[in-house]
Amino acid sequence: MTGLLLLLVADIVLGLAVSAIPALQDYLHLNVLGYAIFIVYIGYQGLAQEGVFLPARLTKVSIKSSTTNGNQSHPSLGSKENIQQYINTLEKVIQKEELFRQDDLSLRSLAERLAMTDKQLSTLLNQHLDTSFYTYINQYRVAAFKEALAQGAAEQFTLLAIALDCGFSSKSSFNRIFKQHTGLTPTAYINSKPS
């Protein structure tokens, strides 16, 4: 678009210059040359796009086949038994070691702990547990917070101290995430419980 605007401006300027100085009439063909170069450039860019000569139905098939052949963006986790074993190991490690309490827990560090790549763990969470890494970890954090409240931690500690102990990194992220998971703010949740 910018190239076309520049050509139009050059055309206008050259037209004004020719009307003011008739000797520039010999250089008017440069305008046409500029348009020709621009058209060739657009054509080249269009042809350089992947699948430009393939019908739409063939491009969809090639995309599907590349993702089902163990593409790096979606690595294969093996059989259903292997996938279930990964899920069981993940849940066991998260619950037993309470890794969710680490506010700096990352997909990569959890994957390393599970002897997986971060792409494999991401695939496991997204495709087989239908969740994201942060949603998965935050559900454990929210559950730990609720459990701490049930055990009377609110009588000894502030809500923020309990939240930080459960793995939340700040008050604002805790409030936002807690409301996403429960539909209530932490204070409203506490007030909704019978004393």
**What confidence score (pLDDT) does residue 1 get?**
66
**What are the structural domain ranges in the chain?**
2-48, 137-192
Alpha-carbon distance 131 to 145, whole Å?
20
**What confidence score (pLDDT) does residue 75 get?**
67
User: Token digits for 145?
Assistant: 């917070």
Give 10-residue mean pLDDT values along the chain (195 residues): 72 76 72 74 66 47 39 67 91 92 93 91 92 94 94 90 94 94 92 77
Q: Which CATH number fits domain 137-192: 1.10.10.10, 3.40.50.280, 3.20.20.80, 1.10.10.60?
A: 1.10.10.60
Alpha-carbon distance 195 to 28, whole Å?
89
Alpha-carbon distance 100 to 80, whole Å?
26
Alpha-carbon distance 92 to 114, whole Å?
10
One DSSP character per residue, 98-124 reads -GGG-TT--HHHHHHHTT--HHHHHHI
Alpha-carbon distance 53 to 9, whole Å?
34
pTM beyond 0.75: the answer is no
**What confidence score (pLDDT) does residue 72 get?**
43
Alpha-carbon distance 90 to 169, whole Å?
22
